[in-house]
């Protein structure tokens, strides 16, 4: 394939400008929560997988935690299983959990692994059927059914894959002391994994431009104090609430910075690690 001189110049310019960021994040662990439109649109799926493979190629250590709410919803509807949400969480009974294990643990996880492999990345699955990575307990005293919170992460499982230059692909399903599998919000899992690994950066992909103030204006950067204020005054609610809470908890426990990023933007992950501004809200 031949390219024009102008195209070649643009490519060279991008590579040169990106070099300081590549150097900054080389040998650093970057945790990415993958979900929303970035998982549903083929163009964005392909771009995400390519970005993750490229990050590994230039010396970064990406770790991917995926969601799959819309896919779970579609499968529940197909099976005529009723579902509802409470405070941003899907209430999960045994029938729903069977679907969650199938869709998250088997189908989506395998698809992500294979797609990243197709772009040269050595991705490997960490899910309920091959790992006890996430120890969990029921959230909100079990009022949400089989919905969990992360108690601990078996960091040795992750480090084992990272040491052999693999990209861990994690499904957000934990197991409690009684052997029950629990459905866990992927943002919470990503936040806990990032802090456990002392990650340089946590990137949460979402379907909005980022965090907005009470007037609907995008906030490109906020402090921990401002984030707490947004939660307390209920400016942030719904699905964004667990994202921001997870971000704060992750930073307090060891993650250097968190970005809530618009996953609808092509190559959003690369824009977050190779530019100053990125495409979302930086919390640090």
Q: pLDDT, tens digit, for every residue of 168-227? A: 999 999 999 999 999 999 999 999 999 999 999 999 999 888 888 888 888 889 988 888
Contacts of 21 (CB under 8 A, 6+ apart): 273, 274, 275
pLDDT band at 244 (very low <50, low <70, confident <90, very high): confident
| Cα–Cα dist 34/203, whole Å | 9
Predicted TM-score (pTM) of the model is: 0.92
Residue 26: count of CB within 10 angstroms of its CB: 11
DSSP string computed for 247-274: HHHHHHTT-S-EEEEETTSTTHHHHHHH
Residue 253: count of CB within 10 angstroms of its CB: 13
Q: Classify residue 119: in a domain, yes or no.
A: yes
| Total structural domains within the chain | 1
Domain that holds residue 203: 22-283
Extract the tokens encoding 84: 């509802």
Q: Classify residue 17: in a domain, yes or no.
A: no
Q: What is the pLDDT of residues 122-181, one digit of tens each?
A: 999 999 999 999 999 999 888 899 999 999 999 999 999 999 999 999 999 999 999 999
Q: Classify residue 41: in a domain, yes or no.
A: yes
Q: Classify residue 16: in a domain, yes or no.
A: no
| Cα–Cα dist 105/78, whole Å | 18
Q: Classify residue 11: in a domain, yes or no.
A: no
Q: Classify residue 214: in a domain, yes or no.
A: yes
pLDDT band at 14 (very low <50, low <70, confident <90, very high): low
DSSP class of residue 279 equals S
Q: Classify residue 15: in a domain, yes or no.
A: no
Q: Classify residue 176: in a domain, yes or no.
A: yes
Give the CATH number of the domain where residue 212 resides: 3.40.1160.10
């Amino acid at each position: 394939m031949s390219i024009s001189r102008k195209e070649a110049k643009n490519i060279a310019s991008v590579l040169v400008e990106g070099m300081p960021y590549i150097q900054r994040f080389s040998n650093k662990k970057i945790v990415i929560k993958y979900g929303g439109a970035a998982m549903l649109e083929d163009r964005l799926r392909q771009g995400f997988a390519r970005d993750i493979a490229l990050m590994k190629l230039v010396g970064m250590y990406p770790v991917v935690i995926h969601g799959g709410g819309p896919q779970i919803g579609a499968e529940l509807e197909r099976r005529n299983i009723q579902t509802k949400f409470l405070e941003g969480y899907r209430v999960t009974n045994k029938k729903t959990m069977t679907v969650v294990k199938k869709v998250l643990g088997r189908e989506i996880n395998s698809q992500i692994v294979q797609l990243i492999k197709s772009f040269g990345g050595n991705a490997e699955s960490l899910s309920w059927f091959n790992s006890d990575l996430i120890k969990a307990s029921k959230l909100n005293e079990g009022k949400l059914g089989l919905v969990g919170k992360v108690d601990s992460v078996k960091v040795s499982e992750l480090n084992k894959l990272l040491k052999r230059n693999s990209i861990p692909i994690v499904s957000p399903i934990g197991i409690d002391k009684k052997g029950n599998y629990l459905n866990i919000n992927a943002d919470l899992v990503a936040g806990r994994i990032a802090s456990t690994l002392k990650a340089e950066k946590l990137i949460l992909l979402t379907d909005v431009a980022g965090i907005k103030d009470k007037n609907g204006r995008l906030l490109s950067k906020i402090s921990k104090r401002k984030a707490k204020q947004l939660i307390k005054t209920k400016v942030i609610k719904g699905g964004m609430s667990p994202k921001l809470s997870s971000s704060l908890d992750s930073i307090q426990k060891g993650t250097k910075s968190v970005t809530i990023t618009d996953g609808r933007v092509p190559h959003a992950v690369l824009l977050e690690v190779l530019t100053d501004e990125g495409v979302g809200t930086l919390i640090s």
